[in-house]
Amino acid sequence: MSNKINPALNYEKTMRSAGYVPRKQATQKTYDAIGFMSGLEVHQQLLTKQKLFCRCPAGIFQKPEEYHAELIRHMRPTLSELGEYDGTALMEFKTRKNIVYHINSRTACTYEVDDTPPFPLNREALDIAIRIALLSKLNIVGEVHITRKQYLDGSIPTGFQRTAIIGVEGEIPLKNKKVRLIQLSLEEDSCREVSDIGHQRVYRTDRLGMPLIETVTYPDMKNPDEVMEACNYIRFLNRSTGLVRTGIGAGREDVNVSCRGGTRVEIKGVSRTKLIPELTHNECFRQWALLKIRDRLKDQVKQQKEWKIKPEPLKSIAGKLESQRFKELSNNGHKVMAVNLPGFGGVFSHFTQPGKCFANEIADRLKVIACLERPNMTCSEDLDPMLADNDWDQVRSLLNASPDDAQIIFWGPEDDIKTALETIEERCIMAFSGVPNETRKSLADGTTIFERVLPGADRMYPDTDSKPIPLEDSHIKKLGQDLPSDVIERYHQLKTWGVPEDSYHYLFTHNLYPVIEKIIAGLDQDPKKIGKLFGHFLKYIAGHYKRSPDFSYERIYDLYKYVVANKLDAEIVKIMLPVVYQYPKMDFDSVLVNLDFKRFSKDEIVSNIPFLKDKYKSIKTSKLPEAEKHWAMGQLRKMAVGNIPLKELMGII
């Protein structure tokens, strides 16, 4: 009897049978058991003055309400080169979305809204992309071909993204393995979504058309931590050039995950690298759980080819229902439908992700494909039941349901019911074969929701508006001349210098290695100290003081140069840096005056020691033998910093 299924217990039970463990408890063995496999697509905006295919300025952003005009488009699926429609294309067409673009004249011209053909490709962007491709050990193409990659979600007004391959077949080194790269492409960035409600999706066009590179890896990563490590490596490599944008949204990742027997599922637009391990872990187990559901359905639904849903409007029994909810829904103009799903008992409350079950797979698709705003459904196995048991009995008798069946009640505008029913049936049929091809959106809690059907390779077309661009050997050679050193070499060098490893993330994220190297090599400083100053102290400053827009890391080099030239002790940098960070234009002499710094010779400082020692005898703060030394040091510290090394002073005391 399906009404005997306790959703909460079933959820717990199926979570265990899927072998789910929290990530903290998972080991390589856990991942090997379910065949974890993952690859990455790392996107990075390039630091150019203008956009990729037009002369609009790059890197200027608007608030949602700051726009001057709006226009509306619809996206129609077009035939691929093979004469077939792409899966995503048809899904997007089903949704019948009005796509509205908000345009600000500062950041968008007629190119962005597809009323002007592309201007010649931005060479500054091309050269940056080639440099990064060289650093990624990719084989550089002989001729760059601009390709159109179809996107029907409206995120690009043309309906396609102009993109071009710069190099193929490269690799990046991780600490313990090498990860192969499939390709690096140069492409135009898409719009930013403002809202997506019902049949209307609104986009901003400020980011649209900004130059972006995408580095794609093979699915070589075998556990969630490797995925993050590879992601960080690619990001650090991009940043090591100093030619890429930083800040929110400047780097984003799509993560592809599958389990053994599963399907490549793409988690889109992960903007925080830290989320990657949790997301990939959960996605791999979601797929594993879907395979369990598939196996279960093999027993529960014998005639899978003939399987059909059975819908009925709820209206006829509405009067008999205890729950008031349905009255409210129909009063709001919604049509309420009950659907019987033969043989699906125990499936809807089946675990898929932490806190989510199979019912979510349906609800998410109803929102995206049929445009039914959430909450849009409830089911006979809802973890949080919306309907009393008696009501479900009424629904079951309306639908002539068998005890092994499951039931959905959903609601929405009349016009969307047909698509909704198709969507429910389609997703249930997919459950017979396991994991659907799709892209998913990441959530902050590490779970994902359905975003779109995964597009195939069929959506690539040559851009007939652009000519191929030949890349001469001489040009590539020139660009390869002053490349930064490899991130992995830098990693090893920092280790050799004894710089603590916990600071590397900060150093690579902010591309601080070049300035560190410059100070060490040019000003003869202690590598470990310099590394720590940047990796720990600077990070502290950044977290506690407001950075002046004029401040650049190069200013720290100037600071050290000043210290060396004025024969000051390097310790003074720590006192001066907070001021320099906030007021980088102030000359260093003034900084010192501001800090009330005075010059003292070593003898002058040392001459105070006997007096202090005498004084200590009268105040004696501790019995420990070192206490006297520390107290005296404390008294002399301000006088000494910058004038003599503190260690030396300590020795003298």
The three-point CA angle 125-131-134 to 5° equals 140
Minimum distance, C-beta of residue 226 to other proteins, in the bound complex (Å): 22
Give exposure, 23-44, as e/b (b: 16+ Cβ within 10 Å). Answer: beebeeebbeebebbbbbbbbb
The residue (of 469 and 646) whose beta carbon lies closer to other proteins is 469
The residue (of 76 and 308) whose beta carbon lies closer to other proteins is 76
At residue 52, the 3 state secondary structure works out as coil
Please give the Cα distance from 62 to 91 (Å, whole number): 31
Taking CB under 8 A as the criterion, which residues in 543-582 touch other proteins? none
Minimum distance, C-beta of residue 205 to other proteins, in the bound complex (Å): 12
The one-letter code for the residue type at 345 is G
User: With contact defined as beta carbons under 8 Å apart, do 253 and 270 qualify?
Assistant: yes
The residue (of 147 and 376) whose beta carbon lies closer to other proteins is 147
Minimum distance, C-beta of residue 453 to other proteins, in the bound complex (Å): 15
DSSP structural state of residue 547: P
With a CB cutoff of 8 Å and minimum separation 6, the contacts of 283 are 255, 257, 265, 267, 440, 448
User: With contact defined as beta carbons under 8 Å apart, do 206 and 50 qualify?
Assistant: no
Taking CB under 8 A as the criterion, which residues in 419-458 touch other proteins? 457-458
CA dist 255 → 165, 251, 277, 332, 360 (Å)? 20, 13, 10, 40, 21
CB atoms within 10 A of CB 558: 13
Of the candidates 131, 459, 490, 510, which one interacts with other proteins according to CB under 8 A? Answer: 459
Q: Which stretch binds other proteins (CB under 8 A): 8-16, 153-161, 275-283, 539-547?
A: 153-161
DSSP structural state of residue 534: I
User: With contact defined as beta carbons under 8 Å apart, do 122 and 211 qualify?
Assistant: yes
State the DSSP string of 163-200: EEEEEEEEEEE-SS-EEEEEEEEEEE--PEEEEEETTE
User: With contact defined as beta carbons under 8 Å apart, do 529 and 556 qualify?
Assistant: no
Q: Which residues pair with 168 in a beta bridge?
A: 139, 183
Of the candidates 45, 50, 136, 163, which one interacts with other proteins according to CB under 8 A? Answer: 163
Q: How close are the terminal C-alpha atoms of the chain, in Å?
A: 86
Give CB contacts under 8 A, 24+ apart, made by 80-86. 80/458, 80/459, 80/461, 81/458, 81/461, 82/458, 84/458, 86/150, 86/455, 86/456, 86/458, 86/459
Residue among 574, 490, 499 nearest 538 (CA): 574
The residue (of 165 and 591) whose beta carbon lies closer to other proteins is 165
At residue 318, the 3 state secondary structure works out as helix
The residue (of 32 and 81) whose beta carbon lies closer to other proteins is 81
The residue (of 78 and 608) whose beta carbon lies closer to other proteins is 78
Taking CB under 8 A as the criterion, which residues in 467-526 touch other proteins? 467-468, 470-471, 473, 476
Q: Which stretch binds other proteins (CB under 8 A): 151-159, 220-228, 349-357, 582-590?
A: 151-159
Per-residue x/- track, 106-145, other proteins (CB under 8 A)? ----x--xxxxx--------------------xxxxxxxx
Minimum distance, C-beta of residue 43 to other proteins, in the bound complex (Å): 16
Q: Which residues pair with 75 in a beta bridge?
A: none
The residue (of 109 and 641) whose beta carbon lies closer to other proteins is 109
The residue (of 77 and 446) whose beta carbon lies closer to other proteins is 77
Minimum distance, C-beta of residue 62 to other proteins, in the bound complex (Å): 14
Q: Which residues pair with 356 in a beta bridge?
A: 353
- Confirm or reject binding of residue 158 to other proteins (CB under 8 A): yes
Q: Which stretch binds other proteins (CB under 8 A): 14-22, 152-160, 436-444, 635-643?
A: 152-160
Taking CB under 8 A as the criterion, which residues in 71-90 touch other proteins? 71-79, 81-83, 89
Token couple for 229:
């490590």
Is 537 buried (19+), middle (13-18) or exposed (0-12) by CB count in 10 A? middle
Q: Which stretch binds other proteins (CB under 8 A): 70-78, 357-365, 395-403, 540-548?
A: 70-78
The residue (of 147 and 280) whose beta carbon lies closer to other proteins is 147
Minimum distance, C-beta of residue 441 to other proteins, in the bound complex (Å): 21
The three-point CA angle 498-499-502 to 5° equals 130
At residue 135, the 3 state secondary structure works out as helix
Token couple for 34:
């379910």
Minimum distance, C-beta of residue 209 to other proteins, in the bound complex (Å): 15
Per-residue x/- track, 579-618, other proteins (CB under 8 A)? ----------------------------------------
Minimum distance, C-beta of residue 88 to other proteins, in the bound complex (Å): 11
Minimum distance, C-beta of residue 450 to other proteins, in the bound complex (Å): 21
Q: Which stretch binds other proteins (CB under 8 A): 5-13, 265-273, 463-471, 556-564?
A: 463-471
The residue (of 61 and 119) whose beta carbon lies closer to other proteins is 119
The one-letter code for the residue type at 584 is P
Per-residue x/- track, 319-358, other proteins (CB under 8 A)? ----------------------------------------
- Confirm or reject binding of residue 147 to other proteins (CB under 8 A): yes
Of the candidates 5, 208, 216, 538, which one interacts with other proteins according to CB under 8 A? Answer: 216
Token couple for 440:
């998913």
The residue (of 461 and 557) whose beta carbon lies closer to other proteins is 461
The residue (of 90 and 627) whose beta carbon lies closer to other proteins is 90
The residue (of 59 and 157) whose beta carbon lies closer to other proteins is 157
- Confirm or reject binding of residue 212 to other proteins (CB under 8 A): no
> Radius of gyration of the chain from Cα atoms?
31
Q: Which stretch binds other proteins (CB under 8 A): 18-26, 165-173, 348-356, 550-558?
A: 165-173
Taking CB under 8 A as the criterion, which residues in 231-260 touch other proteins? none
User: With contact defined as beta carbons under 8 Å apart, do 51 and 212 qualify?
Assistant: no
Of the candidates 12, 32, 66, 70, which one interacts with other proteins according to CB under 8 A? Answer: 70
Q: Which stretch binds other proteins (CB under 8 A): 16-24, 27-35, 378-386, 461-469?
A: 461-469
The residue (of 313 and 456) whose beta carbon lies closer to other proteins is 456
Minimum distance, C-beta of residue 112 to other proteins, in the bound complex (Å): 12
Q: Sheet harboring 192-197: ordered strands across? A: 69-73, 98-103, 200-204, 192-197
- Catalog residues that contact other proteins under the rule CB under 8 A: 68-79, 81-83, 89, 103, 110, 113-117, 138-145, 147-148, 150, 152, 157-160, 163-165, 168-169, 182-183, 185, 216, 457-462, 464, 467-468, 470-471, 473, 476
